[in-house]
Structure 1
Amino acid sequence: MKINAKTKFILNILALVLIFGIMFYLIKNSLADILAELKETSLLVLAGVVFLGIAYQFFEGWSIRSIVTGFSKKFRIFDGMLTAFHVAFYRVITFGMGTLISEVNYYNRKGLKVSQGMGVAALHMIMYKGAILTYAIFALIIQFSLFYEHAPKMIPLILLGMLMTGVIISFFLVISLSLKLQVGFVTLCHRFLKTQKMRDLVDRCNIQIYSLRETVSSVLTDRTALVKIYLLNVIKLGMWYLIPYICLVDNHPNVDFLLVFSLISFTLVLAGVLPSPAGIGAFEFVYLFLFSPLVGTVDAVSSMLLYRFASYVLPFLLGFVGVLVDRKNALSNELEELKAERNE
């Protein structure tokens, strides 16, 4: 059923009101502590945090562009950055549920097929997790003797975090590349689904999965591009990993750079493994658990809030600007359609 211009206009207005409502709720509750911390932060430290946050988004955009370029030569680094902002906004506004959908939808708006968008998103996740695993391995090698002496029980947890990250990478690769899994999925569905309608649905899904496998395979076969994408992910993650040191060194000039760098790499690995206690986010819990003994709870909380600003709030706010521009353009187009309908 075709939706007329008036209905689309009303739906866009309602969507805009809903977005502003959720934004107000988030700023008043979830983001209040982070925004309050910004007021207490020196301009020099804040400038460093913002610079590193933007630098991460630049390398993120470059990485996305390097993956997409096989399907769209017009896709620029700036488009990759806009993709990251768009995804960051919907990750927050949908409380994580709309992350993948928003990413694939943005690629689709840029001319990619859904299967190609899924392939880009899958490889994007694989490379990001690969960079996390890389840093964690090197950090454990560097800090192994220190942890073995002072916190030996942490070593199995860190190893478990690495293992789980490796499992996630393997899962995405298997889903994206395994022809046997695809054939098994179709065979199993056809065995239990008896209606033609359901079998047709499975066949349509199978075509998408096949296209996804071809998409990922086409990118993975270009070794030079693959190494480039991997290195861009390592560099971009390094931008975030520098933030805690930038935040702590002013009050703790003797803090060890490699130790701080290692602790934040362990935080990202462990945050994906440990459950969230008493409603506290897993990342926040692990960060405070690792950093508080080093610099004290007050400075650990301060640096954590600034880290969350650069990695969570800043791209979200930039994404919000992009969404407002999109909504403004959509409303302008629908007003033009309304005028055209009334003149007919």
Structure 2
Amino acid sequence: MKSHSKTKIVLNVLLLASILGVIFFVMDNSLSDIFSELAKTSWMVIGLVVILGTIYQIIEGQSIKEISSHFTSSFTTKDGFFASCYVAFYRVISFGTGTLVSEVFYYKKKGLAVSQGVGVTALHMIMYKAAVIFLSAIGLVIQFSLFYEYRPGMIPFILTGMILTFLIIFVLLILSSSINLQIFLVKLANKWLKRQKLRNLVDEWNLQIYSLRETVQTITKDRSALSRIFIWNICKLFFWYVIPYIVLVVNHPEIDFLLVLSFTSFAVILSGVFPTPAGIGPFEFIYLMLFKPLVGTVDAVSSLLLYRFGSFVLPFLIGMVYVLVGKRKEIKAEIQAVRKEREKALEEEQ
């Protein structure tokens, strides 16, 4: 037992050291431009960006709480707030690969079953994408005449982005709610997979998918909760979308508020479907393409970096503190356990 406790301490210390190493690498490389821009920005603008980014996370926490509370009444808005930041942290240090796993793992730590955590994650994604479509559609209606006159070629891309995002929502809903599709996939797997080990794996996945469907159906039966979750997602996106306006209005007081919100929503919806040059993120490319003719390259890049700080770096930093404090508590608890074991062993020897 003593050896096992010491091993856990060593593994946790090594994991903590690895996390710190990745954090240093990310901050020194991927996030260096954002921190450089912050150094050149007025404290008032930075303060407003931080406030807007924090409000987003609070509303996100309420949205997650609305979903998770169907399975555990102890899940709070604060838990949802840190869930979002926890996921943001692991999204950055895993370079996107650990996003979904980290979210499910967080819910598991809060007492939800894995299938329930997957269900909450799936519905969380669905409602977010539904809100993105809704705001993009409003933006297109408001700015349609402007686009039709100056950039008619963008309209098909925006519509394509909406359609593809809708298809993602549709597929997620079908996979998490259709028993007929589940039966079809199981039959197909049993027909082609002959090895018993693979068939056992399919049976295990089948049970998880069944539990996932039960989870999603439990939530979707509550129409009022769905409406609230959808409204919360619209509200949170608004606070993100307003960040570029707060940054740009300083040097461009004549800039139109709704135009900036619409352009930001278009960048979000198009980032998943627009082909971009190598080495440039889809969102960044679309954002700059839309805003550079409006405010010039320098201010467009500046607003992009500050938007990325409020929407990407801020939750990462909060999540980093949350994870590091949690790891410190774990290591401290394990050291205390080893000391108690040692004291107990000494008492037994005496």
Alpha-carbon distance in structure 2 between the residues aligned to 1:15 and 1:272: 33
Alpha-carbon distance in structure 2 between the residues aligned to 1:3 and 1:79: 34
**Matched letter for residue 225 of structure 1:** A
Residue correspondence of structure 1 range 34-73 to structure 2 within 5 A: 34-73=34-73
Q: Displacement, 1:276?
A: 3.6
SS in 2 for 1:273: coil
Give yes or no for the alignment of 1:332 onto 2:332.
yes
Give yes or no for the alignment of 1:25 onto 2:25.
yes
Alpha-carbon distance in structure 1 between the residues aligned to 2:332 and 2:132: 43
C-alpha deviations, 1:197-247, integer Å up to 9, x for none?
A: 322221111111000001001100100000000000000000001101100
Give yes or no for the alignment of 1:169 onto 2:164.
no
Counterpart of 2:348 in structure 1 is none
Count of residues in correspondence between the two structures: 344
Q: Displacement, 1:336?
A: 2.1
**Matched letter for residue 187 of structure 2:** T
Counterpart of 2:142 in structure 1 is 142
Q: Displacement, 1:333?
A: 1.8
Alpha-carbon distance in structure 1 between the residues aligned to 2:200 and 2:340: 40
Q: Displacement, 1:48?
A: 1.0
Alpha-carbon distance in structure 1 between the residues aligned to 2:285 and 2:83: 29
Counterpart of 1:197 in structure 2 is 197
SS in 2 for 1:73: coil
Aligned in 2, Cα 1:29/1:148: closer, same or farther, shift over 3 Å?
Answer: same
C-alpha deviations, 1:243-276, integer Å up to 9, x for none?
A: 0110001100000111111000000001111234
Alpha-carbon distance in structure 2 between the residues aligned to 1:335 and 1:18: 20
Does 228-237 or 200-209 show the bigger shift? 200-209
Give yes or no for the alignment of 1:222 onto 2:259.
no
**Matched letter for residue 166 of structure 1:** F
**Matched letter for residue 121 of structure 1:** T
Which segments of 5 or more consecutive residues in structure 2 lack a partner in the other structure? 346-350
Counterpart of 2:302 in structure 1 is 302
Alpha-carbon distance in structure 1 between the residues aligned to 2:300 and 2:180: 48
Counterpart of 2:88 in structure 1 is 88
Aligned in 2, Cα 1:196/1:3: closer, same or farther, shift over 3 Å?
Answer: farther
SS in 1 for 2:168: helix
**Matched letter for residue 109 of structure 2:** R
Alpha-carbon distance in structure 1 between the residues aligned to 2:284 and 2:268: 10
Give yes or no for the alignment of 1:127 onto 2:127.
yes
Q: Displacement, 1:169?
A: 0.8
Counterpart of 2:317 in structure 1 is 317
Alpha-carbon distance in structure 1 between the residues aligned to 2:243 and 2:194: 56
**Matched letter for residue 109 of structure 1:** K
Q: Displacement, 1:3?
A: 8.3
Which segments of 5 or more consecutive residues in structure 1 lack a partner in the other structure? none
TM-score under structure 1 normalisation?
0.98
Alpha-carbon distance in structure 2 between the residues aligned to 1:310 and 1:230: 22
Alpha-carbon distance in structure 2 between the residues aligned to 1:219 and 1:230: 13
**Matched letter for residue 286 of structure 1:** I
Q: Displacement, 1:11?
A: 1.0
Residue correspondence of structure 1 range 259-274 to structure 2 within 5 A: 259-274=259-274
Identity of aligned residues (%): 55
Counterpart of 2:153 in structure 1 is 153
**Matched letter for residue 27 of structure 1:** M
Counterpart of 1:110 in structure 2 is 110
Counterpart of 1:238 in structure 2 is 238
Alpha-carbon distance in structure 1 between the residues aligned to 2:128 and 2:244: 20
**Matched letter for residue 219 of structure 1:** I
SS in 2 for 1:148: helix
